Structure 1
Amino acid sequence: MGAPRILVVDDNKDMAQGVAMVLREAPAEVESAYTADEACARLGERAFDLVVTDVRMPGQDGMQLLDVIVERWPRSKVVMLTAYGTVQSAVEAMKRGACDYVTKPFNNEELLLVVKRALRERQLEEDLQRLQAEFEGRYVFEGLVGRDAQMLGVFDAVRKVAPSHATVLVCGEHGTGKELVARAIHRLSGRKGPFVAFSAAALPDTLIDAELFGARKGAFTGADHDRKGHFVEANDGTLFIDEVGSMPPLVQVKLLRVLQEREVLPVGSSTPTKTDARVVAATNTDLLRATREGRFRDDLYYRLSVVRVALPPLRDRIEDVPLLAEHFLSRRCSERGIAKKRLSHRATRVLLLHEWPGNVRELMNVIDRAVLFCQDDVVEPKHISFDEEATAADLSEPQSYEATKREVLERFQRLFVERLLHECDGNITEAARRAGLTRAAVHRMLKRLGIAAPHPEARRG
């Protein structure tokens, strides 16, 4: 960044030039204007980091100029100068957007101190905006938020699959963001048609059939008009079918035919209709297991899962909880038009130690309630309530964020290692291979966590 630019505004030319001379020692690039109108013209021509303006000027005064700058050039900081300084006028200037206030007569050191502080504040805001943009570019992706390696893998998969015509199966528990993934795929696909969402759960077979494939008037009781069906509505767009695993067998057959032939046959009609809807399906169940048990057609499963995107539960990416919480907190405060709030360390610890059975959706609800109940700038544990009034944390002793992070990571590692050893029947070599670790690293982890290594003979027995 080059030298900051400052505009000095004062109807007294000698005063304006004297102030400009002092401020060049900041160091800064300084220009002078002698009326509010001239100042506005300069501001319209180029950006200034700081405006130092007298309050009393003929015509438009400094307070009026301040209002214009706040409205039209909000990134420019404003410092007010006046020989008529009172507490009331200083408070008024700060309320209206000035960052500081200096009363004439002043010494040069005082003025330079105030100006340097204002410029430092301006630089910090610029750095924060840059970091926020970098952060959002990396960790906020099409409505999805995360820096966990699993989520970054999801972001990458969505980017790669979106431009294709492949069907996608999104797998994950309730509340993990399956529809957000589907919407992201649609937005990045370049398709001109709409995004249409449909849930196959808790609907009668006939109604699922009509909703998806359409129906002719009189085809069944209550069909008092023709229905296009979601496949036709989503033509040249994306059809998101949630809870696809709950579809009845006859609907599975029709869905398979649509995916194969790219045409639908409405209920009560003998004439098929062409469709170019791209299908993104979602499930919170193990569809592969359902195929083995005969509850879901295996040929339909393989048609739907050309690309499979797996969303991890929130408990498996616990380090994303503070990131998600701050994201939801900022968004809710902005939507309600209130000052931004932040989470205290103790509140963050409460969130980190919760199990999150409802995943990201539950976290969003918790933050929504906290925004409603918190009347201060900082969200504390007392503002946080869960759907089940229980948490694993004993909050009587405050802990730092790092201490809480270590506690949560140790719990995650313990669960991970125990599950891995169970799946590998206690075989440490196989467990190390699956985890991408050496045998020595697995042994060290077992020792640190106090988990007894399985005895070879116990495994054989």
Structure 2
Amino acid sequence: MLSVLLIDDEIKWMESFKKVLSNYKITSEDNIFTARNGSSAMEILSDRNINIVFLDLILENEHGEDVLKLIRSEFPEVTVVIMTGMNDIFTAVTCMREGAADYLVKTATVEEHIASVKRVGAMCDLIAENKALKKSIFSDHAGEFDRFVTCSPKMFTIFKYLSAIVTSKEPVLICGESGVGKGVLAKAFASVARKGRPFVSVNIAGLDEQIFSDTLFGHIKGAYTGAEHNRTGLIQQAENGVIFLDEIGELPMSLQVKL
């Protein structure tokens, strides 16, 4: 869950924004910290693993741009979003050049604020995944995949890569010639990434549209002629687990769109 720091001298606004972040389930209130000035903010950043900072440009006795420069200098891995009551394009461009990830006007709608937070949150996830990938690729170990025995350096590299993306929510594409063990690798990945959860495998080569939709998405009684009972699709059966779509390259593009 994201850890957030709000830097503003307006206490009421910070409390209000905390509730917005919590109500929209961006993060919990326990993961939201507040500071009224730059020095307090730097102490929190030193003590806590903060992902995103929301920084007001106009603070009491100091300017937000100076705080932005200090944060980017001392904590370059932290994502900073500028918050201000002024809709000033020149200031926005200046802050972005100094390293801010986004620029929000306080008077914007809640929906606009949440959209920005989600964009920045996705950026933080990407940065974290990239760091994990670099760390894993250059490591001498493959994390939880060390328990899989291999004499192949290339296979060991693959295991290290899988170890880096094991917490990712993105789909994983496994390419290789027939018989190289794509299904085995998918099952190994699932045993680590979704341990104890469903692993559903289906070969979808040659399925026509009706069978494909029926197999993956299921149907309700009476959906079409012959549908006498409700049927649970494989995607639902694999909920919170992994579904392995074997030979997905053979699936027509018109059906791939449905995925």
TM-score (ref. length: structure 2): 0.52
Indicate the residue corresponding to 1:249 in structure 2: none
Letter paired with 2:3:
R
State the distance in 2 between where 1:67 and 1:45 align. Answer: 19
Q: CA deviation at 1:68?
A: 1.0
Indicate the residue corresponding to 2:83 in structure 1: 81
1:201-250 deviation per Cα after TM superposition (whole angstroms, max 9, x unaligned): xxxxxxxxxxxxxxxxxxxxxxxxxxxxxxxxxxxxxxxxxxxxxxxxxx
In the alignment, is residue 6 of structure 1 matched against residue 4 of structure 2? yes
Indicate the residue corresponding to 2:242 in structure 1: none
Indicate the residue corresponding to 1:118 in structure 2: 120
State the distance in 2 between where 1:150 and 1:20 align. Answer: 51
Match of 1:23 among 21, 24, 42: 21
**Structure 1: 4+ residue segments shifted above 6 A:** none
Is the CA contact (8 Å cut-off) linking 1:16 and 1:34 kept in structure 2? no
CA root-mean-square deviation: 3.0
CA shift in 2, pair 1:13/1:134, >3 Å: same
State the distance in 2 between where 1:43 and 1:82 align. Answer: 21
Is the CA contact (8 Å cut-off) linking 1:85 and 1:104 kept in structure 2? no
Indicate the residue corresponding to 1:54 in structure 2: 56
1:351-397 deviation per Cα after TM superposition (whole angstroms, max 9, x unaligned): xxxxxxxxxxxxxxxxxxxxxxxxxxxxxxxxxxxxxxxxxxxxxxx
Is the CA contact (8 Å cut-off) linking 1:51 and 1:78 kept in structure 2? yes
Indicate the residue corresponding to 2:65 in structure 1: 63
State the distance in 1 between where 2:9 and 2:153 align. Answer: 58
Letter paired with 2:27:
P
State the distance in 2 between where 1:151 and 1:124 align. Answer: 27
Unmatched 5+ stretches in structure 1? 140-148, 156-401, 407-461
Letter paired with 1:21:
K
Q: CA deviation at 1:62?
A: 1.3
Letter paired with 1:19:
F
Is the CA contact (8 Å cut-off) linking 1:20 and 1:32 kept in structure 2? no
State the distance in 2 between where 1:75 and 1:99 align. Answer: 12
SS of structure 1 residue aligned to 2:80: strand
Indicate the residue corresponding to 1:33 in structure 2: 35
Q: Percent identity over the alignment? A: 23
SS of structure 2 residue aligned to 1:102: strand
SS of structure 2 residue aligned to 1:15: helix
Q: What is the 5 A alignment of 1:2-401?
A: 3-25=1-23, 26-28=26-28, 29-137=31-139
SS of structure 1 residue aligned to 2:138: helix
1:305-359 deviation per Cα after TM superposition (whole angstroms, max 9, x unaligned): xxxxxxxxxxxxxxxxxxxxxxxxxxxxxxxxxxxxxxxxxxxxxxxxxxxxxxx
State the distance in 1 between where 2:34 and 2:51 align. Answer: 14
CA shift in 2, pair 1:151/1:21, >3 Å: closer
State the distance in 2 between where 1:6 and 1:104 align. Answer: 17
State the distance in 1 between where 2:153 and 2:129 align. Answer: 26
State the distance in 1 between where 2:90 and 2:69 align. Answer: 17
Q: CA deviation at 1:138?
A: 5.3
State the distance in 1 between where 2:106 and 2:139 align. Answer: 46
CA shift in 2, pair 1:137/1:62, >3 Å: same
Unmatched 5+ stretches in structure 2? 142-150, 157-174, 178-259
Q: CA deviation at 1:59?
A: 2.1
Q: CA deviation at 1:64?
A: 0.9
CA shift in 2, pair 1:22/1:150, >3 Å: closer
State the distance in 2 between where 1:65 and 1:74 align. Answer: 13
Aligned residue pairs total 152
State the distance in 2 between where 1:90 and 1:109 align. Answer: 20
State the distance in 2 between where 1:113 and 1:83 align. Answer: 18
